[in-house]
Structure 1
Amino acid sequence: MELLYTVNPGIEDIASEEIRAELGGVTSFENMSGHVYHVVDNVSFEAIYRLRSINRAFILLFKSRIGSRTNDLIKLREELFSSLETIHYYITPYTSFAVDTERLGSHEYTSMDISRIVGEIIIKKVEEKTGIKPVVNLRTPHIIVHVFVKDENFFLGVSLTGSRSLHRRGYRIYDHPAALKPTLAYAMLTLSGTRDKQVIVDPMCGGGTIPIEAALLHEEAYIYGYDRNPRHIRGAKLNAYASGVYGKVVFGVWDARRLHEIFDEQVDHIVSNPPYGIRYGDPVAIRKLYRDFLDSTYKSLKPGGRLTIITTEYNYVLNKANYIGFRVVHKRTVQHGGLYPKIVVLEK
């Protein structure tokens, strides 16, 4: 069986490792492609739903090579028509569908051109097999057909996880205006190396995504979430309750710049999503916030403890962290909300 997963660009390796660990098989990916390719003998769909790092999963029905010129679409149309003989098993006259195309590389044609061709072929094949045309529904389709084109590589799969991305966990009763995707929260916890029995703190927890993901990941960790806005803390508690981890996370109203007043060299991991300067508006204010925050986290961490943050202010953070005495353990670029922040892991 061949599968294709969509993930946040920048965490393909983390998703690949989780997929292999949970489902077995062989995986491959290209960094910042937002996709992981997976070959496995057999797989439980329930196990796919338990993955914490993926957005969607697709069973691969067709893969080929495609040229970059518009005329190459003629050959693609012929190959698709002869290959999609079983598409009516997935898309019937009684299920609506939509085609979602992602394209990376330089091509004369557009993603819409490919989606149009794929949609036309699917309608013809289903009508040929059943005598009835399936319905196209671009807003709320029953089935999503995902096409991924990267340079000359062409993949087509049918969604195994419905139209809803798995990063939408379902526990977000309260939606923080600058909420972090749970898939990225999982990636940050993984990169930080959090474990059971350790103290894990998010001092700018907002709606509680990072503490909740930590509680879902670790049965016996000591997890704390703070925010200086009481409304966010109330929302975080609601989300924790909806996720089933209420009571496993201690939430409280507190200023992240004074974290050391609660924890004096007691924390194993601080994992957080501080405000981005791009969204904060005032570069002077954001730098002061980061400076005070970094000072306080250094005092709060145990020797060897780690601070993991996602930020667009990474140059300032790295310079300040080096001055304070942090050691840079890891850094990488990811895509989040149309921006390309870095996840930075610092060690005391």
Structure 2
Amino acid sequence: MNTVKLIATAAMGLEAIVADEVRALGYTNVKVENGKIIFDADPSGIARANLWLRTADRVKLLVGEFKATSFEELFEQTKALPWADYISKDAEFPVIGKSVKSTLYSVPDCQAIVKKAVVESLKKRHKIEWFEEEGALQRIEVAILKDLVTLTIDTSGTGLHKRGYRYLHNEAPLKETLAAAMIKLTNWTPDRTFVDPFCGSGTIPIEAAMIGQNIAPGINREFAFENWEWFKQEWTDRALEEAEDLAKYDQPLQILGTDIDHKMIELASNNAIEAGFPDQITFKQMQVKDFTTRDEYGVVVGNPPYGERMQEKNYVENLYRELGRTFRPLDTWSAYFITSYEHFEKLYGAKATKKRKLYNGNIRTDFYQYWGKRPPRK
């Protein structure tokens, strides 16, 4: 097996960022589609992609793709794929599915047929009649879009946003993948001050620290592929060694996370310690209006309350006015805020330099970008 075709799934609006990350890993045959980035890699790329992709949701191994409008076509073409190359005879291989705008619209039926076809394919190669499924998890997905069937095996296990450092969080946590994407959309470099005025459980500051020190986001967690029989330990070891070599643990950081709630400050501090940043991030209980700085250049990234509930509306509107009064005068700083509140610019008191549509879970939001003056070139 010299090459594999991989799919990095992405939240709507983040595809271009994920594609840039894939290319940064050195993969050139990259195809971008809605919600996914398809690319070729050698098998060790499974480990590298899972370790390094900050903004992707999962990495899937593409087994096959074909058109099917009948259950018979689905069965026969699934059965013809080389499942035994990837799935060991003791593996656990459940099938999940989805179907959109397709002739084969019954997802439970499609799942059952794919399962049966995979079993028949494995029987032929493994020379056994019954599969106990007590070994490593190799979850299969059948996804049908406009009659095009895509069959994949999930290499990640739990989603890539589960970095392993956030055991506790607030009621409405921002996914680590979205936090990383927001930071990547800024002009921040680790030699500048970074501030999150609504740090909550600390996700944005921690992701900034990981980016600032070039630490692979998956370095402290496990993945499904690590237990696969055919996946060589040396591929994982090589990817981990590369991640350690590229990390810049000595890179100084000036990162501040503030929140009005002292419980959130305690929670964020504990999460930062868990992530390996006991001293690199400062957390402080503070109201937005009390923020001051002597630093000439900096970047603010915030996920303020959106005012989704009617009783919060007045509080949120006043908060957005305070944001403007606090950060607008810092003309050499850049500020970035994500919110679903459509009149944010009016309350902030300035039109954004740029606005980008993003989804925070199922909530459609805008990412308001206010670019400050650039530092002089050194």
Q: TM-score, normalised on structure 2? A: 0.79
Give the aligned residue type for 1:257.
K
Structure 2 residue 347 is matched with structure 1 residue 320: yes
Tell me if the contact between 2:166 and 2:274 (Cα under 8 Å) persists in the aligned partners: yes
1:182 Cα deviation from its structure 2 partner: 0.7
Q: Distance in 2 between matches of 1:307 and 1:196?
A: 16
Q: Distance in 2 between matches of 1:311 and 1:136?
A: 45
Structure 1 residues 87 and 191: alpha-carbon distance in aligned structure 2, compared to 1, 3 A threshold: same
Match of residue 233 from structure 2: none
Q: Distance in 2 between matches of 1:116 and 1:292?
A: 56
Give the aligned residue type for 1:312.
S
Match of residue 219 from structure 2: none
Q: Helix, strand or coil for the counterpart of 1:340?
A: strand
Give the aligned residue type for 2:179.
A
- Within 5 Å, which residues of 2 pair with 1:133-172? 133-134=130-131, 142-161=137-156, 163-172=157-166
Q: Distance in 2 between matches of 1:6 and 1:73?
A: 27
Pairwise CA RMSD of aligned residues?
2.4
Q: Distance in 1 between matches of 2:84 and 2:172?
A: 41
Q: Helix, strand or coil for the counterpart of 1:20?
A: helix
Q: Distance in 1 between matches of 2:129 and 2:166?
A: 40
Q: Distance in 1 between matches of 2:133 and 2:35?
A: 26
Give the aligned residue type for 1:216.
M
Q: Distance in 1 between matches of 2:310 and 2:201?
A: 18
Match of residue 21 from structure 1: 24
> Percent identity over the alignment?
24
For structure 1, the 5+ residue unaligned runs are: none
Tell me if the contact between 2:180 and 2:208 (Cα under 8 Å) persists in the aligned partners: yes
1:96 Cα deviation from its structure 2 partner: 1.1
Q: Distance in 1 between matches of 2:37 and 2:173?
A: 25
Residue 112 (structure 1) aligned to one of 108, 117, 121 = 108
1:56 Cα deviation from its structure 2 partner: 1.3
Q: Distance in 1 between matches of 2:368 and 2:114?
A: 40
1:270 Cα deviation from its structure 2 partner: 0.7
1:107 Cα deviation from its structure 2 partner: 4.9
Give the aligned residue type for 2:48.
A
1:147 Cα deviation from its structure 2 partner: 3.0
Match of residue 273 from structure 1: 303
Q: Distance in 2 between matches of 1:46 and 1:245?
A: 24
Structure 1 residues 43 and 129: alpha-carbon distance in aligned structure 2, compared to 1, 3 A threshold: closer
Residue 319 (structure 2) aligned to one of 289, 310, 335 = 289
Query: Which range moves more in the overlay, 217-226 or 125-134?
Result: 125-134
- Of structures 1 and 2, the one with the larger relative CO (CA 8 A, separation 6+) is 2
Q: Distance in 1 between matches of 2:125 and 2:104?
A: 33
For structure 2, the 5+ residue unaligned runs are: 214-251, 373-378
Structure 2 residue 239 is matched with structure 1 residue 239: no
Tell me if the contact between 1:173 and 1:238 (Cα under 8 Å) persists in the aligned partners: no
Match of residue 125 from structure 1: 121
Match of residue 214 from structure 1: 208
Tell me if the contact between 2:99 and 2:105 (Cα under 8 Å) persists in the aligned partners: no
State the Cα deviation string for residues 200-256 of structure 1 (Å, max 9, x = none).
100100010000000001133411101111111111111111111221111111112
State the Cα deviation string for residues 60-87 of structure 1 (Å, max 9, x = none).
1101234xxxx533322221112x2x31
Structure 2 residue 367 is matched with structure 1 residue 346: no
Q: Helix, strand or coil for the counterpart of 1:57?
A: strand
Match of residue 225 from structure 1: 257
Q: Helix, strand or coil for the counterpart of 1:180?
A: coil
Q: How many residues align?
A: 329
Match of residue 61 from structure 1: 63
State the Cα deviation string for residues 274-300 of structure 1 (Å, max 9, x = none).
11222574322222222222322223x
Q: Distance in 1 between matches of 2:207 and 2:136?
A: 29
Q: Helix, strand or coil for the counterpart of 1:246?
A: coil
State the Cα deviation string for residues 297-348 of structure 1 (Å, max 9, x = none).
223x342x322222111x2113334xx23532231232x3332222222224
Query: Which range moves more in the overlay, 14-23 or 217-226?
Result: 217-226
Q: Distance in 1 between matches of 2:336 and 2:100?
A: 30
Residue 354 (structure 2) aligned to one of 326, 329, 340 = 329
Structure 2 residue 84 is matched with structure 1 residue 88: yes
Q: Distance in 2 between matches of 1:306 and 1:36?
A: 30
Give the aligned residue type for 1:275.
P
Structure 1 residues 344 and 103: alpha-carbon distance in aligned structure 2, compared to 1, 3 A threshold: farther
Q: Distance in 2 between matches of 1:158 and 1:333?
A: 27
Q: Distance in 1 between matches of 2:112 and 2:148?
A: 18
Q: Distance in 1 between matches of 2:310 and 2:118?
A: 46
Q: Distance in 2 between matches of 1:257 and 1:246?
A: 27
Tell me if the contact between 2:352 and 2:368 (Cα under 8 Å) persists in the aligned partners: no
Match of residue 44 from structure 1: 45
1:141 Cα deviation from its structure 2 partner: 7.3
Structure 1 residues 256 and 18: alpha-carbon distance in aligned structure 2, compared to 1, 3 A threshold: same
Structure 2 residue 181 is matched with structure 1 residue 176: no
Q: Distance in 2 between matches of 1:119 and 1:171?
A: 35
Tell me if the contact between 1:2 and 1:39 (Cα under 8 Å) persists in the aligned partners: yes
Give the aligned residue type for 1:6.
T
1:37 Cα deviation from its structure 2 partner: 0.9
Tell me if the contact between 2:76 and 2:117 (Cα under 8 Å) persists in the aligned partners: no
Tell me if the contact between 1:23 and 1:47 (Cα under 8 Å) persists in the aligned partners: no
Residue 6 (structure 1) aligned to one of 5, 9, 20 = 9
